[in-house]
């Protein structure tokens, strides 16, 4: 299989954004709210900060105490909504246990125009209607890979595995609106890979898909993430597919870096709109088949 480098595509996207922001003299500002001091959340946040800096933007990190109340979080979000100097607001998930039941209400407080993660219920719902202000970065990353491999979707069969609001449901909705039939399975079942031209697999298990199972030449987007014996991996056993036909967006170095690049793209769009510049950027849609 041809291994698609999410790291490389992410670097291309960020470089296009850096150039565009520099040309327009725009410095996008992302506010990041973290509740508590979870090491894993803070590591992700560092990656996002670094990416935003690389496109000529800046981040304001607000680390709130672990025991913050719902109301204090809503107040913080409201201040950032009002702040004209902030283009995008990101609430790092997961929230501490005592706030989990209020997650949707808290996300709902983020202004749709600053919701660069595309996680507010309203932006999620708008996708099935007239279109969202912002779409989930992970879903946008999947779609960019799909478009690079298959510029034409006609006649393609997409199989999606999982039921998440940030990957599977939005990818399904967008493909469908573009005329592409989709089949969605809550969990991976053996052989599913052979029913798909495009397989997005979020729910499976560590390295459960091996090359020996794959008969055709699918595009596989691995949207799983596991720690096994001290290294990260996805649903596909990467070193088992070298002799197969098709394309793989692997874990690590696949969806992870790409979704952060898509966050930078959403943030830049928010900043351009915020400053009355609505032209947008054509990201480098290099066709992997050429």
Residues from 111 through 150 that contact a second copy (CB under 8 A): 120-130
- Fill in the per-residue mask, 79 to 118: x = in contact with a second copy (CB under 8 A), - = not in contact: ------------------------xx---x----------
Q: Min. distance of Cβ 149 from a second copy in angstroms?
A: 21
Q: Min. distance of Cβ 51 from a second copy in angstroms?
A: 26
Task: State yes or no: residue 169 binds a second copy (CB under 8 A).
Answer: yes
Q: Min. distance of Cβ 172 from a second copy in angstroms?
A: 7
Give Cα separations from 12 to 44, 61, 192 (angstroms): 20, 26, 32
Q: Which of 1, 86, 180, 259 binds a second copy (CB under 8 A)?
A: 180
Q: Which of 101, 144, 140, 105 has the alpha carbon at shortest distance from 122?
A: 105
Other CB atoms within a 10 A radius of the CB of residue 263 amount to: 26
Task: State yes or no: residue 215 binds a second copy (CB under 8 A).
Answer: no
Question: 3-state DSSP call for residue 30?
Answer: strand
Q: Min. distance of Cβ 254 from a second copy in angstroms?
A: 23
56: CB partners within 8 A, 6+ apart: 17, 18, 21, 22, 26, 27, 28
CB 127 within 8 A of CB 165: no
Footprint on this chain of a second copy (rule: CB under 8 A): 103-104, 108, 120-130, 163-165, 169, 172-173, 176-177, 179-186
């Amino acid at each position: 299989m041809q291994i698609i480098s999410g790291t490389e595509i992410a670097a291309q996207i960020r470089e296009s954004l850096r150039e565009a922001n520099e040309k327009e003299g725009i410095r996008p500002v992302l506010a990041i709210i973290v509740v508590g001091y979870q090491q894993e959340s803070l590591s992700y946040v560092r990656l996002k900060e670094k990416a935003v800096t690389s496109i000529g933007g800046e981040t304001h990190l607000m680390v709130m105490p672990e025991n913050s109340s719902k109301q204090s979080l809503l107040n913080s979000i409201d201040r950032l909504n009002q702040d004209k100097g902030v283009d995008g607001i990101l609430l790092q998930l997961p929230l501490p246990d005592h706030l989990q039941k209020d997650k949707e209400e808290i996300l709902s407080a983020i202004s749709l125009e600053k919701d660069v993660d595309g996680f507010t219920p309203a932006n999620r719902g708008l996708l099935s209607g007239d279109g969202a202000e912002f779409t989930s970065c992970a879903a946008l990353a999947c779609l960019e890979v799909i478009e690079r491999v298959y510029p034409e979707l006609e006649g393609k069969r997409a199989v999606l595995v999982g039921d998440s609001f940030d990957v599977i449901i939005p990818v399904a909705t967008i493909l469908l609106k573009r005329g592409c039939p989709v089949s969605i399975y809550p969990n991976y079942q053996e052989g599913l890979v052979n029913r798909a031209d495009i397989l997005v697999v979020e729910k499976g298990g560590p390295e459960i898909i091996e090359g020996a199972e794959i008969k055709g030449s699918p595009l596989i987007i691995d949207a799983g993430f596991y720690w096994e014996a001290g290294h990260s991996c996805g649903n596909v056993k990467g070193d088992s597919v070298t002799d197969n036909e098709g394309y793989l967006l692997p874990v690590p170095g696949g969806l992870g870096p790409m979704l952060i690049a898509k966050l930078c793209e959403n943030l830049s769009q928010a900043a351009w709109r915020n400053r009355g510049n609505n032209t947008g950027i054509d990201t480098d849609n290099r066709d992997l088949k050429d």
